[in-house]
Amino acid sequence: MPEQRLAGKVAIITGAASGIGRATAILFAQHGASVVVNTDRRVDWAEETVRQVREVGGEAIFVQGDVAVGADVEGLVGAAERHFGRLDILVTLRTRSKRGGFSGNAWANAFRYRLKAPSEPKRCTVKTLPVLCSGSFAAATGERIR
């Protein structure tokens, strides 16, 4: 079993329905963190992530919401605080892909999911994380517009 470097910590991980987000949720749980799994789509995949986190002995809940929407993020943070009593870590892993370049709404969507989605959760948690004196924030986006 890995060293429990995150024991007692609570982490929100957005984009945790699959890929790097799912792997991050499982890894954090293996290191002792309680995990809030988030996605706005693919609910069944997110529920599978929760199952896998619990399978490795972690504690997890799923909260659906779009991290580019402030009200959804506030609900996500509120759910973490209600269920686990605190929030220590915020990891935003969010991307969407679109085939065909930047025509029509593609540019607006690229802006929303590459820039706004990682920054909106940080804006909404800025009141929560400093209170804890040791909060952490990490963000990653991807380039998959084809």
SS3 content of the chain, % helix, strand, coil (to 5): 45, 20, 35
Residue 44 lies in a domain: yes
Instruction: Average pLDDT across each block of 10 residues of the chain; the chain has 146 residues. List them in order.
Output: 86 92 96 95 95 97 88 91 92 62 56 56 56 51 46
Residue 101 lies in a domain: yes
Residue 103 lies in a domain: yes
Residue 2 lies in a domain: no
CATH number (domain holding residue 133)? 3.40.50.720
pLDDT of residue 40: 87
Helix, strand, or coil here: 33? coil
How many distinct structural domains can be found in the chain?
1
pLDDT of residue 92: 84
Looking at the DSSP assignment, which residues form a beta bridge with residue 34?
10
Residue 21 lies in a domain: yes
Query: Degrees (nearest 5) of the Cα angle 145, 11, 111?
Result: 25
Residue 130 lies in a domain: yes
Q: Domain limits at 104?
A: 10-141
Residue 71 lies in a domain: yes
Both structure tokens of 20: 């790097």
Whole-structure pTM value: 0.72
Using one digit for the tens of pLDDT, what is the confidence trace for 24-36? 999 999 999 999 9
Spatial separation of the C-alpha atoms in residues 14 and 119, rounded to whole Å: 12
